[in-house]
Structure 1
Amino acid sequence: MLKLTQAFPRRLKISTDRVMWAAVLGSCFLIVQATLTPYHFQFVAMLNTFGAGGLIMKFVGGPSDPADMINNVVLFLPLGFCLAWLLQRRQHTGLLAAAAPLLVGAGLSLAVEVLQLFLPTRTSTPIDVLTNSLGTLLGLLMVYGMRLVFRSPTNLMITLAGWLVTAFAVTVPLQSGASLTNWDPTFPLQIGTQSSPEWSWSWKGQVFDVAIADTALTESQVQALVSGAQPLASFNNTFRASYQFIGSGSYVDRTGTLPDLVWKGATPQEQAGTGVPVADDRWLETLAPAASLTQRVAQTSQFTLITTVATGDSKQEGPIVALVGDLAHQNFTLGQEQDHLTFFLRTPISGESASEIPELFVPEVFADTRPHQVIVTYNRGTFQFYIDGVRQPHAQIITPEYTFFGYLLPPQIASWMQHKLLNPDERYALLYKLLYESLLFLPLGLLLALVMRYLPSVVSPRLRGGLLVAGIILPAVLLEAERVLAGGQTMQWINLARGLILIACSWMFFRARIVSWGRYRQKEMRSRAGVQPFGHEMARPTLPE
């Protein structure tokens, strides 16, 4: 069987080799960045705490997250593809061509998992090694699959249909990724320190009040509440928790829904006036899980959080108000990072730790140590922040494209892209949409161009035209219908038009490239046969062998 790139020019072969080697190195760098950041290894501390045997047992019994499994497969797939491609180019076949990429992928995965044992914020498990190896295997199979795809128009049609099914099977969960149905009702409400046996992440400052509703207040309701025109008690059965921090001791929920908040660690001295000081040695926690609040929010996928806080340090990092079990399991965390306000939210996509996608943030809220009222509303993917009664310039929306890139990209890159969404310039949000839709529609354009080019000549022009129109219109319509039905959004013609343009333009581009490649192939074949190509009718190009 001939190599995939046998018919391509030599200069293209050299360029492809360089690109593939660069892709291998880039894949390895991406894997390390995505799995080992922030590189805060604690080799001595972890060995002293668990011992070698304890670390092995921790690895064997490590928890697995379905969301991580998908991430692992996607992360290692490019590595397997590029290695298999390079081996094929060098005419390595049989066991070596199949085993080498798998061994490299499994070895790199095992090394990463071992190093993760010494990172307090990471979890390590044999399941990750298996899913990483599976990603490498899928990349390997893609190379062999390409050889089958180009053998006949029938295979191209099957591949086109398969890509459609796969693309929409992946994107449907992204549309529902903004729901809160996976919130855990066993977590208590915490004010201050979020701690775990392995790491303590604390915040120092003063908290004056906390209130949580199971619906998202409108802007007019927020303004009425801030101005005092509509007191908190007037929102009938809306707020599921309301605490005022006056004095010391325990603090009672004024709605009668949640358990009392009590001190953990050291109890502070009696305070004059309102507000309680929390620090690394003292924080507040409900006597029992906040189950009723959690269950209600999980049903509505909405909430409103209101709190008044004053930081003790504008350069610190830590949680202020959180509904958490431990560092790796949380429903939400309102916190501080330098002088920014941050918010972690657990969704089906962000995972149990709420960290699979970057946190949301509002800049310079804690630039001073004065008290600030913070109001956060959330309604099925749309965040709105109010600081001291002032609505922030724009809402933050957990869109499918934001979720997709935030989930798959390394944390630093995903966080940078997410932070760009905070810019009032909406071109950054449009960039997200274009990148996301390009990943879906450009491969469709390529497959459509190949199918139309290599359809048998017996297919009538009318049928060809119908297939082309359906291939352009149907995917764009399906994606918009998915947004409406699964995502709960309203239909937008601009989204539909953008999808149609992307598919049509990609089809035209790849069609032109295929025609150009076919002409080059015919010219090369005639030159080898000693026939001048000029003045002769151009024969129809054949499929790559």
Structure 2
Amino acid sequence: MPRLRFRLLPALLTAYGVLLLGLTLFPFSFQPGRIRALGVLLPSMLTWRDTGFWEPLGNVVLFVPLGLMLAAWRAWPAPLTVRQAGFLTALCVAGSLGIELLQLLTPVRTPSLKDVVLNGAGGGLGVVLYALGWALLAPGVSPRRIARWLLGTCGGVVLATLVLGGVPWSWGLASWDPASPLVLGAAQDRAPSWHGLVHDLYIGAAALDDAAIARLLTSGSPGSSSGSSPGSDAALSHYPLRCDSLCPDAGGRLPPLHRLGPPVAPAADGIRLRRGQGYRTLEAPTALTERARRQSAFTLVLAFTPEADLHRGPAPLLSLPSERTERNLLIGQEWQALHLFLRTPANGPRADRVVFVVPGVFERGVTRRMALRYDRGTLSVAFAEAPGPYRLRITPETAVLWWTAYAFGPYHIDLTTATRPDGVIRLVPWLYDLLVFFPLGLLLAAFVHTSTRHRTRRLLAGWLLMPLFLHAVLLPAGGLLSLTRVGGSLLILGLATGIGLLTSRLGARPQPDPPQYVSR
């Protein structure tokens, strides 16, 4: 047995284990200049925050050395068998699960099933890297086969990060900042100012039913709280915006609003917002935020009358700010269109990644009453003058597309067309299948083409198992699974595999025989 297995590998595994426990059980901040006191840092650590591409990529890469070293410890200097590779990958998943269980005992860490899946994918890629390294050392391996294995490994890392890291594993509002105030009008930043009257404001952490919202839009009273969740108190809190009386009513638990900027004469039917003026709570509506995070739902009803057509924006009408690009909620005006920024696990920490637009809402001197409802991934926007609410179901497929499309700018979604049967949102699951399964089919074709045995068996196994596995991953987050979806995924995967195999056959040109030298 080589000396490497007994001396170097235990030392590497020990050092890696200490580093792994330190990174996973204790908080670290790698952003210079943003180290804050522990008391301020703790509330943000106790909430789940998606940091975009780098956190999922880090979770994948973190377990790649573990899979590589375990494979070397188990099989060196022989190649790995399929059974050994599966056992070592399962061992990496078990190690990640043990770390997540340990995080239950630490006050500054929150366990996540998403981390287990990403760590398991990284461990499996480490096992694949060992098999690739052994193939590189084996005699008689063609450079083309090595290049395809490298391409498949890199593609696997990126694909695992995009698919598994981009899927929101929870539809709750846990990514909301609990220390954010409620702001009407100017949010004390350089955003444009909103001009007009605000008449009524209802806000609460419960998803009211359609009947209660209809009563709010017509009579200004929710009536019975049949739409609230069982056991909830005060489904909505009312700010009676009359004559500058900005304290909530007795049924609400929200802090009062205080004026920002110079005073103005109060209007008879609401408060007037001008340039440099606004109203905000001096303390955060923690009761609202905590209940919204627990129930994954909230309802907001607002009555307003604009007095200006803005030339740029969006000018904030109402917001729950965190940072300028990380607002929990923002309702603003840009020209005559309503722009809605909502921070959910679907679009990550940046609320401006996805912009929900309703055109033709703001008209000078015209009073509008709107109701906004979010209920476990379903967004609903209703107006008193409109025939019905605009609803949009935010699925994991849409989240992955928004997450990848943000590199080209904010993703604008017109709610008036997205909720129609012929809207583009209906095509999002199919676009997701095309973007995911077509590259997978090309990788499967490259893998089968470089294989020497059991080509048909491997082709059928990959063709059947890949769609079932990826659609099963989407199910816990509210994904759409049907025979039509699975059949379409199989069709796309088969088409891409056929194109890849045909291209490989056409590109495999016969090599000329070496010249023969005859000795005299």
The TM tier, using the shorter chain, reads: 0.5 to 0.7
Q: How much has 1:238 moved relative to structure 2?
A: 5.1
Which one of the candidate residues 203, 218, 221 is aligned to 1:212?
A: 203
How far did 1:375 drift?
Answer: 0.6
> Alpha-carbon deviation of 1:360?
0.7
Q: Structure 1: where are the runs of 5+ without partners? A: 1-58, 75-141, 531-545
Counterpart Cα distance in 1 of 2:264 and 2:493: 63
Does structure 1 residue 503 correspond to structure 2 residue 503?
no
How do residues 211-360 of structure 1 correspond to structure 2 at under 5 angstroms?
A: 211-228=202-219, 231-232=222-223, 234=225, 237=233, 239-272=235-268, 274-316=269-311, 317=313, 318-348=315-345, 350-355=347-352, 357-360=353-356
Q: Is the CA contact 1:194–1:319 (under 8 Å) kept in the aligned structure 2? A: yes
- For residues 473 and 393 of structure 1, do their structure 2 counterparts lie closer, same or farther at Cα, with a shift above 3 Å needed? farther
Letter in 2 for 1:342: H
| C-alpha displacement of 1:211 | 1.0
Q: Does 1:189 align with 2:173?
A: no
1:71-124: CA deviation from partner (whole Å, max 9, x where unpaired): 9999xxxxxxxxxxxxxxxxxxxxxxxxxxxxxxxxxxxxxxxxxxxxxxxxxx
User: Which string of whole-angstrom CA distances, capped at 9 and with x for unpartnered residues, describes residues 422-475 of structure 1?
Assistant: 37363623543344323321222112212222322xx3xxx4433222201211
CA contact (8 A) 2:239 2:246 kept: no
Q: Please name the residue that 1:517 is paired with.
A: 507
RMSD (Å) for aligned C-alpha atoms: 3.8
| SS across alignment from 2:177 | coil
Q: Do the aligned residues in 2 keep the contact of 1:445 with 1:503 (CA within 8 Å)?
A: yes
Structure 1 residue 204 displacement after superposition: 1.1
**Match of 1:293, as an amino acid?**
L
SS of match in other structure, 1:67: coil
The amino acid that maps onto 1:346 is R
Matches within 5 A, 1:13-92: 61=33, 67=51, 70=54
Which residues of 2 match residues 449-468 of structure 1 at below 5 A? Answer: 449-456=445-452, 459=453, 463-468=454-459
Preserved CA contact (<8 Å) 1:385 1:391: no
TM-score normalised to structure 2 length = 0.65
Q: Does 1:172 align with 2:164?
A: yes
Aligned 8 A contact 1:178 1:398 in 2: no
- Equivalent-residue separation in structure 1 for 2:417 and 2:142 (angstroms): 41
- 1 CA distance for matches of 2:480 and 2:333? 34
After the TM superposition, which of the residue ranges 499-508 and 413-422 deviates more from structure 2? 413-422
Give CA-to-partner distance per residue, 1:346-399, whole Å, 9 cap, x none. Answer: 1245444412x1211111111343110011111222211111153557423333
Q: TM-score, normalised by structure 1?
A: 0.62
Q: Please state whether the residue corresponding to 2:351 is helix, strand or coil.
A: coil
Per-residue deviation, residues 132-159 of structure 1 (Å, max 9, x unmatched): xxxxxxxxxx9xx999797486986797
1:176 maps to amino acid: W
Equivalent residue, structure 2, for 1:111: none
In 2, Cα distance between equivalents of 1:177 and 1:366: 34
Please say if residues 195 and 202 of structure 1, whose CA atoms lie closer than 8 Å, have aligned partners that are also in contact.
no
The one-letter amino acid paired with 1:347 is: T
How do residues 454-493 of structure 1 correspond to structure 2 at under 5 angstroms? 454-456=450-452, 459=453, 463-485=454-476, 487-489=477-479, 491-493=481-483
- Compared with structure 1, are the counterparts of its residues 418 and 159 closer, same or farther at alpha carbon in structure 2 (3 Å cutoff)? farther
Bigger relative contact order, structure 1 or 2, given CA contacts below 8 A and separation 6+? 1
Partner of 2:68: none
After TM superposition, the structure 1 stretch with the greater mean CA deviation from structure 2, 286-295 or 147-156, is 147-156
SS for the counterpart of 1:437 is helix
Determine if contact 2:471/2:479 at 8 Å carries over to the other structure.
no
Structure 1 contact 240–258 (Cα < 8 Å) conserved: no
Q: Secondary structure at the match of 1:390?
A: coil
Cα deviation for residue 205 of structure 1 reads 1.1
Which sits farther off after the overlay, 290-299 or 398-407? 398-407
Evaluate the alpha carbon distance shift between residue 420 and residue 157 of structure 1 in structure 2; reply closer, same or farther with a 3 A threshold.
Answer: farther
SS in 2 for 1:334: strand
How many residues are treated as equivalent by the alignment? Answer: 389
Cα distance in 2 between the residues matched to 1:268 and 1:291? 29
AA partner of residue 372 (structure 1)? R
SS at structure 2 position matched to 1:395: strand
- Per the alignment, in what secondary structure is the counterpart of residue 436 of structure 1? helix
Q: Is the 8 A contact 1:190 1:285 kept in 2?
A: yes
